[in-house]
Amino acid sequence: MSKAATIIAALSMAVALFLLLEVITFQQQIESVASELSKVRGQLDALSKRLETIDQSVRTLESSELQAPQVHVGAPSNITLIYEKVKDSVVKISVISLVGEVVGSGFIYDSQGHVITNNHVVEGGERFYVYFLDGSAYEASLVGRDPDSDLAVLRLVLGGKSPALKPLKLGNSSELRIGEQIIVIGNPFELAGTVTTGIVSQKGRLLPSGRGYLIPSVIQIDAAINPGNSGGPVLNLKGEVVGVATAIESVTGQFAGIGYAVSSNVVKRIVPALIENGRYRYSYLGITGSEINELVANALGVDVKKGLLVESVASSGPAARAGIKGGTRTLKVAGKSYLVGGDIIVGIDGTPVNSMDDLLTYLVERTSPGDLIVLTIIRDGSRIDVPVTLGERP
């Protein structure tokens, strides 16, 4: 091969090698770009999914805003709306007696002009006057009263008038939850139409009545109650009456953070009887007792944590006739004395009894004098059922 041919062949190989290297480099660049494009595509997919999530969240928020009440600056609150709804049904009551005037509160119960208030507001009264917030005023007559629940019923003397009365609806007080918001409307210190609000602090309190018996199922609230609030409605956020303001716990005579209301379920039971008969006939068992806890139960050797220890039994009363036994000796547990040796009530007609309130609430809300009930008791370590025919409270 000539020298020229050799040079040409070498140049050809060099050019071919150069072109091969360029092709390899270009291919690597293409692969790099493809890799970058793949990454971008992945980021775009992730961004698309994120946008879908945001879009779904926006749609959900828009939907909830359509369903939920809109809150705007200056818009009326639930309390304002409820007050506007019920204000024409809450009244001020003036009771005139030989010793002067007592002012309380009440509310319209039905279209016949019956008004619910407290017994201690009307007790001893000779003339009764009812004032509405719009200035309307009526004389009223006393229909019935019950010292043992501190409830009373007046009736407006309409004298031919036909006012558009707006009765308030009674709610189910047993559905109240601890911490639930409530509203009280009344006339504290004769300040008509006053609204206070708070929560349900507790349920199932016992409150002594004017005759010494216990009012069961009392609701404890922290809404401000002062003289003049007595007899006014306690309302839930549906605008239903769940209680009747009746008392406060105070060393000064003014509100100190604890108020009490007679439950609407007790009102439902007693008020119709007051309207029909002027009085309510209570079932009577004829016992006194104390609530026990696990410490007392352990000291007595019984396998319960709660129950009602029967301490005394009224002679010739329904419980005595049924053979219920009272205490015979004193036992001191955790610094408190108990009269033990008697029966422990743990149920009534299959309903658990953990306290005196449980027993009294059942008797008031679900029984009448003459009814046959079955008490489940613990006696000598054994559970037995004892039938008892209820009497009428003396």
Decide if 120 is catalytic: yes
Lowest mean pLDDT among 22-31, 56-65, 164-173, 231-240: 56-65
Q: How confident is the model at residue 66 (pLDDT cuts 50, 70, 90)?
A: very low
Which residue did the predictor score with more confidence, 25 or 226? 226
- Catalytic, out of 105, 146, 148, 150: 150
pLDDT winner (highest mean) among 30-39, 72-81, 184-193: 184-193
What is the SS3 assignment for 107? strand
Lowest mean pLDDT among 73-77, 200-204, 223-227: 73-77
* pLDDT for 72: 44
Per-residue pLDDT at 92 exceeds 50: yes
Lowest mean pLDDT among 207-221, 248-262, 319-333, 373-387: 248-262
Q: How confident is the model at residue 143 (pLDDT cuts 50, 70, 90)?
A: very high
Lowest mean pLDDT among 242-256, 277-291, 299-313, 364-378: 242-256
Model-level pTM?
Answer: 0.79
**Cα–Cα distances in angstroms (integers) from residue 363 to residues 47, 169, 279, in the given order:** 67, 24, 17
Per-residue pLDDT at 205 exceeds 50: yes
Mean pLDDT over the full length of the chain: 89
Nearest to 306 by CA among 295, 315, 316, 321: 295
Q: How confident is the model at residue 259 (pLDDT cuts 50, 70, 90)?
A: very high
Tell me whether strands 259-263 and 214-221 are parallel, antiparallel or unpaired: antiparallel
* pLDDT for 210: 81
Which helix H or strand E contains 103, and what residues bound it? strand 100-108
Q: Alpha-carbon distance 191 to 322, whole Å?
A: 53
pLDDT, mean of residues 159-186: 95
AA letter at 165:
L
Decide if 150 is catalytic: yes
pLDDT, mean of residues 52-77: 57
Q: How wide is the angle at C-alpha 335 spanned by C-alphas 329 and 338, nearest 5°?
A: 25
* pLDDT for 24: 67
Q: Alpha-carbon distance 269 to 262, whole Å?
A: 12
- Catalytic, out of 89, 105, 120, 355: 120
C-beta separation of 359 from 387 below 8 A:
no
For residue 36, list its beta bridge partners. Answer: none
Q: How many helices (H) and strands (E) does the chain have?
A: 7, 22
pLDDT in tens, 241-257: 999 999 998 767 778 88
* pLDDT for 1: 58
* pLDDT for 71: 42
Q: How confident is the model at residue 19 (pLDDT cuts 50, 70, 90)?
A: low
Q: Alpha-carbon distance 229 to 32, whole Å?
A: 84
Q: Alpha-carbon distance 313 to 323, whole Å?
A: 9
Which residue did the predictor score with more confidence, 328 or 72? 328
Nearest to 116 by CA among 272, 231, 276, 34: 231
- Catalytic, out of 94, 173, 201, 230: 230
Per-residue pLDDT at 265 exceeds 80: yes
Q: Alpha-carbon distance 264 to 365, whole Å?
A: 11
